[in-house]
């Protein structure tokens, strides 16, 4: 299993423009580990092999989730939402994803993010 983790290739892009390349790389990687049959429905592979393949794919997709959440956090702005409730929902969804990926997000971070994304005409609201 450690050999599987050592073989690195490009993670799935946030906007998924490299999806076909990622799928091909994943298939090649699984083939190298004698696990390619685990992703075919008509093949009977052992549960241990299926678990190894799923762990590999899960680890790769976790990296995608982490980069997506960080991208969304960077571009999150309150003025992009119709209501404060929509913004709050997006804020908690993104921070939950980041926490699942091991990032530390405190209430202070969320408050600072919200205040820093107010439009410049609303500076009085920040103060």
Select the more confidently predicted residue: 110 or 25: 110
Query: pTM above 0.75?
Result: no
Q: Please give the pLDDT value at position 64.
A: 73
CA angle 6, 44, 60 (to 5 degrees): 25
Count of the separate structural domains present in the chain: 1
Mean pLDDT of 47-76: 80
Residues 6+ apart with CB under 8 A from 120: none
The CA–CA distances, whole Å, from 126 to 38, 39, 115, 116 equal 54, 52, 6, 8
Instruction: Identify the DSSP state of 102.
Output: T
Q: Please give the pLDDT value at position 119.
A: 63
Q: Please determine, for residue 1, whether its predicted confidence score (pLDDT) is greater than 50.
A: no
**DSSP calls for 25-91:** HHHHHHHHTT-GGGG-TTS---HHHHHHHHHHHHHHHHHHHHHHHHHHHHH--GGGSSSHHHHHHHH
| Domain coverage including residue 101 | 2-126
The alpha carbon torsion through 47, 30, 58, 44 (nearest 10 deg) reads -30
Q: Please give the pLDDT value at position 86.
A: 92
Mean pLDDT of 30-38: 76
């Amino acid at each position: 299993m450690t050999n599987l983790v050592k073989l690195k290739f490009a993670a799935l892009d946030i906007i998924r423009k490299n999806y076909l390349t990622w799928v091909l790389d994943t298939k090649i990687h699984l083939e190298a580990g004698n696990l390619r049959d685990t992703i075919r429905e008509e093949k009977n592979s052992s549960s241990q092999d299926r678990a190894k393949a799923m762990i590999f794919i899960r680890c790769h997709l976790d990296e995608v989730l982490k980069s997506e959440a960080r991208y969304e956090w960077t571009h999150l702005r309150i003025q992009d939402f119709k209501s404060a409730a929509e913004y709050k929902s997006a804020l908690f969804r993104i921070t939950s994803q980041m926490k699942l990926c091991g990032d530390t997000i405190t209430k202070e971070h969320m408050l600072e993010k919200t205040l820093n994304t107010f439009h410049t005409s609303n500076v009085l609201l920040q103060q």
